[in-house]
Each structure stands twice: as structure tokens, then as C-alpha cells.
Chains A and B, each alone.
Chain A
Amino acid sequence: MSDPMISCQEFIRTLADFLAGELPKDQHERGELHLKICPYCVDYLKSYQLTIKLGAEAMREEEENAESAELPEGLVEVILAGKGR
């Protein structure tokens, strides 16, 4: 029977799969147990999730700006002229 306790290193190594729900059930439960006893890994998990959110927000803002702008007319002309080449 495997040790129900895992280390911070093991928890962080499998964190992405833990969050995606892609760990085997017993491994996921060991991760849940680790979070109950390790406030540092609770903090790490939270900052990891916020990193993903901050990255997506920052890059999507660029897209929103681009969507409200039209494709530069010069580029449209080049694309239309190049059709069928």
C-alpha cells in the first residue's frame, strides 16, 4: 500500500493534472490530503491558478483591442491580390 502522504515536491509536480482532474483517484486523494496539512502548497496552487487567469486576461485584452480594429487596409489588399497564387 502506498504512503498516503506526499511531499510538496510531489504535489507540485502533479499540480496541473490535479487541477485538470486527470490524476488517478488515489493520487488525487493524496493531493487533497496534502492540501489539508500544507498551507504553502495551498498558496502555491492559488497563485498557479491566478497566473493562468492573469495570462489569459492580459492576452485576451489585446485580442479585444484588435477585434475592434479592422485589418489594415494595405494588408487586405495584399491578401486579396494574392488570392489564387
Chain B
Amino acid sequence: MTDKAALGVVSAICADEAALVARLRAGDDDAFADVVRTFGGRMLAVTRRMLRNEEDARDAVQDAFASVARSVATFDHSCRLATWLHRIVVNAALMKIRRRRRKPEDSIDELMPRFYADGHRIDPGPAWDDSLVEKAMVSADSRELVRRAIDRLPESYRTVIVLRDIEDLDTEETARLLEITPSAVKVRLHRARQALRTLLDPHFRERR
């Protein structure tokens, strides 16, 4: 299916979302298949980002659709179908993360900025070069480098970056999903961004 055709399908579904949900609630297998084929690719992208493991990502999408089938009666139209599906698949991926998080995570303290006793930063280093960053935005190799840096973060830090900065969830929603306080989300996100910045720094600092 081309992008244009896919967009047409999604638009048609949006226009007739209530009818689609009604069919889903009635147990219509064709409606369920339409939802799987239309939204499944995007949902798999979300689980791949969160889990970084293809088998787990596919399992989480499968779990999410099982949840959709069980809970479609609770869909209350206060949000779009796509938003509801997004929440369900994020939850399914987080369940996977919780199940596999068994070993202690590495500390990221060494990736935090360091300070003298008077509060000045130790070795601030050169500023980032705008032209290098601009090139990175359009370079497949550079984007891969950034993804590899994100993958180097311990899972709890990578997860909060994905939920807040990539999936665009707000602090409260992220806190609810991660079962931590909003303050803890803020602290963890700030540390994660600082650690990622440190990992990217050698690639984007001005050459002197």
C-alpha cells in the first residue's frame, strides 16, 4: 500500500470511527482485522523503540491487540481510537520491560556534568557546531549514531526519554505508566537527557 493510499484508509477510518468502534464492540472480525492492518505498523514501531528487540516488540503488539479485543467495551470516545491504541501498546511494552528488568542497571553518574566546589563546571569543552548538527539531522549514519547512543542508556532512562521526548506523553501520564511520582519522572528525564548529551558530545562539538 502506498503512503497516499494508507492515508486515505486512515482518513476514512477517522471519519467513520464511531461506526468502526461499534463494529469492534459487536465482535466484528473484519473490523478487528481492519484495525490491526491499519494501526499495527505504527504500534510495532512504538514497541520496537521501547524494547529494542524484535521478538519482544512483536509479542508486545500481540499482547496489545489481545487487550484491545478484551477491553474495547471500555473505549469511551473521550479520545481518538489511535490515541487509545497508543496507550494500550505503550502499556503492553512497559509490561514486557517490567517482566525482563531483573538485573541492576549500570550507573550513569559518570555521564553527568561535573562541578568544582564553587559550582563552576569542570571542563565545559567546546560548544556544539550547528552545521554538524544540521548535517546529522539529514544523515542516515548520524541518526543511527544517535539511536545507538540512546540504546546505551540503561533501560529505565531510555524508557523515560522515549515516553516523554519521542512519544510526547506528559509528565503525569508517564508517571502513571511507570508507577513513579511526577517528580521522579522529571529527575530521571533530566538525567537521561544529560547522559545522552554527554554521549553525543564528542560527535558534535566544534573542531578546534
Contact = CB atoms under 8 A, between A and B. Distances in A.
Interface of A: 6-10, 12, 15-17, 40-41, 43-44, 46-48, 50-63, 65-72, 75-76, 78-80, 82-85
Interface residues of B, number: 56
Given A8-B115, A43-B127, A16 B189 contact: yes
Contacts of A66: 41-42, 44-45, 48
A83 B194 contact: no
Nearest to A6: B119
B62 A79 contact: yes
Interface string B166-208: 1000000000000000000010011001101100110010000
A68 B3 contact: yes
B61 interface: yes
When A and B form their complex, which 7 residue pairs have the shortest distance between CB atoms, in order from nearest? A7-B119, A71-B40, A66-B45, A58-B146, A43-B127, A63-B45, A16-B190
Given A8-B121, A12-B121, A48 B194 contact: yes
B58 A75 contact: yes
